[in-house]
Amino acid sequence: MTSYLIRRFFIGLLTLLLITFVIYGLIRTMPGSPLDTDPAMLDPSKMPREEDLERMRKVYGLDKPWPVAYIQWLRNVRYGNLGHSYSQRKAVSELVKQRIGPTLTLSVTSLFLTYLLAIPMGLYSTVRSGKPEERGISFLLYMLYSFPSFVAALFLQLLFAVKLQGTALELPLFGHQSPGFDEMSSVQQTLDRFWHMVLPVTCFTYASLAYYCRFVKANMEEVIRQDYIRTARAKGLGPVRIILHHAFRNTLIPFVTLLGLTLPGLLSGAIILEQIFNWPGMGQLYFGSISTRDYPVIMALTLMFSVLTLLGQLLADILYAFVDPRITYH
């Protein structure tokens, strides 16, 4: 296992270097620059002189060829310095700390609800395969899976924030807290955050719910056709015991794969949904940094998401050995 982890470490390091090198080259060569998107530059009366622009390029490091600037960025990252945001004039690490909490609030809540609902629905669909109720669930799930989450977000906003405005069912349109939040009691703050989360969490959850439920059902249907399941039935075991104690345990390996793929999504958020609900999370920060050509923020978030993806894959591989003793690493 030790030699395997060492190999994975160096492979992951080379992968990170390749990803960051390509992304840095792409963002530096695409049209526009941080100076073009600065609000001060949009007012002709406030346009700085050419010597001032040249000085700003040197401050931002835009006067250097991008491979040289990339090497300088790597040196800073080695010492834990992610740089400063061009557009927000703050340290990138500070921006990440501000945004990571709201994103985790949405993503963890959504993931918990998804697993809480998808596993029982998938198991029930397997047990009742071919029955009218199973077909009804499948039809509903296919509809949810084919319906874009951003379209659902707009419909939910129109219904609960506009059509039902002034009623007991009214929900906040966007944001993660109401004006005067700091003056509220702790109970009021908790309720206020909860009501602001309802619509975003619903949109985050329903598409994943459809996919996970179909995933559980597909894997269960493959497992229950195995010989050991027929042997368990021949021994007179009940369907519930067969499903829970024999079949479901052998579908954990695909679940481990999903767990590894889910890890980066917990922090990356959903760019479109966070924009629609004006939720101050990592997805919105990423979108804003691309719009303003904020290179330090783009690279910091790219590095973070890449590391989480590699860690998720490594975690999945390690968990394989615990779930299935037949799997060993050398």
Q: What is the pLDDT along the chain (330 residues), one digit of tens a residue?
A: 677 778 888 888 899 999 999 999 988 888 777 766 555 555 555 566 666 667 777 777 777 888 888 998 898 888 888 888 888 888 888 998 888 888 888 888 888 888 888 888 888 887 777 788 888 888 888 887 788 888 888 888 888 888 888 787 888 887 787 888 778 888 888 888 888 888 888 888 887 888 888 888 888 888 887 788 888 888 887 777 777 777 777 777 777 777 777 777 777 657 788 888 888 888 888 888 888 888 889 999 999 888 888 888 888 777 777 766 666 666
Q: What is the DSSP letter of 162?
A: I
The confidence score (pLDDT) of residue 326 equals: 66
Q: Is residue 118 part of a domain?
A: yes
Q: Is residue 217 part of a domain?
A: yes
Q: Is residue 76 part of a domain?
A: no
The confidence score (pLDDT) of residue 18 equals: 93
* Burial category of 298 from C-beta neighbours within 10 Å (exposed 0-12, middle 13-18, buried 19 and up): buried
Decide: 317 and 272 in contact? Cβ < 8 Å: no
Helices (H), the chain: 2-29, 50-60, 66-78, 92-127, 132-146, 149-156, 186-223, 227-234, 239-241, 252-268, 271-276, 282-291, 295-323
**Separation of first and last alpha carbons in the chain:** 6
Question: What CATH number is associated with residue 318?
Answer: 1.10.3720.10
**What does residue 91 show for φ and ψ, rounded to 5 degrees?**
-65, 140
- Cβ-based neighbours of 300, under 8 Å, separated by 6 or more: 82, 83, 92, 93, 96
Token pair in block for residue 86: 């061009």
The confidence score (pLDDT) of residue 183 equals: 83
- Cβ-based neighbours of 102, under 8 Å, separated by 6 or more: 176, 279, 280, 281
What does the angle CA 249 – CA 252 – CA 257 come to, to the nearest 5 degrees?
Answer: 175
The confidence score (pLDDT) of residue 22 equals: 93
Q: How many domains does the chain have?
A: 1
Rounded Cα–Cα distance for residues 121 and 55 (Å): 61
Q: Is residue 79 part of a domain?
A: no
**What does residue 73 show for φ and ψ, rounded to 5 degrees?**
-65, -40
Q: Is residue 328 part of a domain?
A: no
State how far the alpha carbon of 171 is from the alpha carbons of 103, 278, 323, in Å.
20, 14, 43
- Cβ-based neighbours of 147, under 8 Å, separated by 6 or more: 207
- Cβ-based neighbours of 181, under 8 Å, separated by 6 or more: 189, 192
Q: Which domain holds residue 160?
A: 92-323
Decide: 69 and 28 in contact? Cβ < 8 Å: yes
The confidence score (pLDDT) of residue 243 equals: 77
Q: Is residue 182 part of a domain?
A: yes
Q: Is residue 112 part of a domain?
A: yes
For tokens 């039902």, what's the residue?
A: 164
- Cβ-based neighbours of 97, under 8 Å, separated by 6 or more: none
Rounded Cα–Cα distance for residues 259 and 201 (Å): 19
Q: Is residue 289 part of a domain?
A: yes
For tokens 């982890």, what's the residue?
A: 5
The confidence score (pLDDT) of residue 43 equals: 53
- Cβ-based neighbours of 142, under 8 Å, separated by 6 or more: 210
